[in-house]
Amino acid sequence: MDSQGLKPRLATIWLGGCSGCHMSFLDMDERLIDLALRVDLCSSPLVDVKEFPNVDVTLVEGAVANEAHVHELEIVRARSRIVVAFGDCAVTGNVTAMRNAFGVEDVLTRAYRSTSAVVVGVPDGADGMVPRLLPRVRPLHELVKVDYFLQGCPPSADEIYTFLNELLEGRTPTIRRFG
Partner 1 sequence: MTGRIEINPITRVEGHAKVTIDLDERGEVARARFHVLEFRGFEKLCEGRPFHEMPGIMARVCGICPVSHILASSKAGDRLLGIEVPPAAVLQRRLANYGQVLQSHALSFFHLSSPDLLLGMDADPRTRNLFGLVAQDPDFARRGIRLRQFGQRIIELVGGSRIHPSWSVPGGVARVLSSSACDELKGWLAEAYATVDIALTRLKQILDRHTEEVEHLGSFPSLFLGMVDDEGRLAYYDGRIRIVDAEGNVVADRLDPGRYAKYLDEASESWSFMKHAFYKPMGYPVGAYRVGPLARLNVATTAGTQRADRELREFKQRSSGAVCASFHYHLARLIEMLHAVEKIEELLDEPELKSHEIRAKAQLNRRQGIGAAEAPRGTLFHHYEVDDDGLIVRANLLIATLQNNAAINRAVEQAAKRFVRADGLQEGMLNRVEAAIRCFDPCLSCSTHALGQMPLSIEILDAAGTVVDRLARPDQV
Partner 2 sequence: MTPEELHQRRDKERAKRSTEEDHLLCCTAAGCLSCGSEDVLHSLRDAVKTTEANVRVSGTGCLGLCSKGPLVKRESDGAFFGGLSPESAAALVPGRADLVDRQTLAEHRIEPTTPFFALQQRIVLENAGRTDPERIEDYILADGYEALSKAVTEMTPEEVLSEVKKSGLRGRGGAGYPTALKWELVAKQAATTKYIVCNADEGDPGAFMDRSVLEGDPHRVLEGMALAGYAAGASQGYIYVRGEYALAVQRLEKAIRQAERERILGNRVLDSAFAFQVDIRVGAGAFVCGEETALLASIEGRRGEPRTRPPYPPERGLFGKPTLINNVETFANIPPIIRKGGDWFSSIGTERSKGTKVFAVAGKIVHTGLVEVPMGTSLRTIVQDICGGVPGGGKLKAVLTGGPSGGAIPESLLDLPVDYESLSKAGSMMGSGGLIVMDDETSMVDVARYFMEFCMDESCGKCIPCRAGTVQMHDILARISRREAEPSDLEMLAKLATLLKETSLCGLGQTAPNPVVSALRYFREEFDEKLVKHPLAENTSRTASERRE
Partner 3 sequence: MSVKTLKIDGEMVTGRAGETLFNVAWDAGISLPRLCHVGGLSDVGACRLCVVEVEGQSKLAAACVTPVEEGMVVHTNTERLREHRRLLIELLFAEGNHVCSVCVSNGHCELQDLAVQLGVDHVRLRYQHPKRGVDATHARFGLDHNRCIFCTRCVRVCDEVEGAHTLDVSGRGASLKIICDLGEPWGQSETCTSCGKCVQVCPTGALYLDGASVGEMEKNRRFLQYIVTAREKREWIRKG
State the amino acid at position 116 in one-letter form.
S
The one among 2, 5, 6, 50 contacting partner 1 by CB under 8 A: 50
Residue 49 or residue 175: which is nearer to partner 1 going by CB? 49
φ, ψ at 139 (rounded to 5°):
-75, 160
Decide: is 74 part of the binding site for partner 2 (CB under 8 A).
yes
Give the three-class secondary structure for 6: coil
Q: Which does 144 bind (CB under 5 to 8 A by kind): partner 1, partner 2, partner 3, none?
A: partner 2
| Strand 148-150, strand 133-138: pairing | unpaired
Round to whole Å and give the CA distance between 99 and 79: 30
Round to whole Å and give the CA distance between 162 and 7: 18
Decide: is 170 part of the binding site for partner 3 (CB under 8 A).
no
- Positions that interact with partner 3 (CB under 8 A): 85, 88, 91-95, 97-98, 100-102, 136, 139, 141-142, 146, 149, 151, 153, 175-179
